[in-house]
Amino acid sequence: MDKTDWQKKGDGHRQRLRDRFLDHGLDGFTDAEVLELLLSLGTPRKDCKETARLLLKQFGSLAQALDASQAELELIEGIGPKNGFALHFVQSVARRYLRQRLKAKEYLRSSREVGEYLVHSMRGLKREVLMAVFLDASLGIIDTQLVAEGTLASNTVHPRELIKMALSHHAASMVIAHNHPSGSLTPSAEDKKLTRHLFIALGFAGIQLLDHLIVGEGEQPFSFADHGLLEDIRRQSRPLIAGE
């Protein structure tokens, strides 16, 4: 089979995958087929089937492959800068889409979507980051914003910066979230200390902290509110904030 015949065969295969997507969406697609199509966006004239298989073998899942850095991707035979660009571009578009889809929605009714966005945007990061979801008086979602990155602790996250962001968004309340690069969903003693520190500081500014979410390996974050930890902090802090 000469090169022209090989290209025609590959083009026909990719077109069949595209047609399947147009007719049925991603239902029935394997992770390998999804990666194959994404890789072909960067190198449309190259057979990406084996490269997609190697990606899954190396990283274990579609999500982990999309979370991989360019340097990690290029360790896989057949992947170059153009392939990596295609994967990272699609990942970034998905994050922006999920973020914009949340705006103006009522938080309590959309908390699962908030969790999906946070997991998608924070899972797989090599460093800790702290994000805030700003809410209006009706618990409508105003925006999400990166607050800090690096080592997150009560002595490194400055409440005044978080308060400044909240005031600039005219937020009445907020939810904060951070990731555990280790994948653990268990809050540490420092996580609890940071939550109490921020709860009190925000309370003095008249801004309510509704929850603290931890993103790890699970499909949904760990919730301080759902596990009763935030209520414990609220009860302990009420006399201080109220000036009793």
pLDDT in tens, 39-95: 988 888 788 889 999 999 999 988 888 888 888 998 898 898 888 888 989 888 988
Token pair recorded at residue 4? 């022209």
Burial class (CB in 10 A: 0-12, 13-18, 19+), 22: exposed
Higher pLDDT, 129 or 217: 129
pLDDT in tens, 11-28: 677 788 888 888 888 888
Global pTM? 0.76
Taking the C-alpha atoms of residue 25 and residue 19, their distance in angstroms, rounded to an integer, is: 9
Look at residue 107 in the predicted model and tell me its pLDDT. 92
Taking the C-alpha atoms of residue 17 and residue 12, their distance in angstroms, rounded to an integer, is: 9
Largest CA distance in the chain: 84
Q: Do 200 and 166 contact (CB within 8 A), yes or no? A: no
Q: Which residue has the tokens 């889809």?
A: 101
Q: In what order do the strands lie in the sheet with 208-215?
A: 141-149, 129-135, 173-179, 208-215, 222-223
Taking the C-alpha atoms of residue 74 and residue 63, their distance in angstroms, rounded to an integer, is: 17
Taking the C-alpha atoms of residue 154 and residue 190, their distance in angstroms, rounded to an integer, is: 7
pLDDT in tens, 210-238: 999 999 987 889 999 999 999 999 998 88
Q: Do 124 and 67 contact (CB within 8 A), yes or no? A: yes
Look at residue 10 in the predicted model and tell me its pLDDT. 55
Look at residue 6 in the predicted model and tell me its pLDDT. 44
Look at residue 91 in the predicted model and tell me its pLDDT. 87
Higher pLDDT, 86 or 240: 86
Look at residue 180 in the predicted model and tell me its pLDDT. 94
Cβ contacts of residue 101 below 8 Å, gap of 6+? 113, 117
* Sign of the C-alpha dihedral computed for residues 181, 182, 187 and 188 taken in this order: negative
Q: Which domains does the chain have, with CATH numbers?
A: 3-95 (1.10.150.20), 104-242 (3.40.140.10)
pLDDT in tens, 160-205: 999 999 999 999 999 999 999 999 999 999 999 999 999 999 999 9
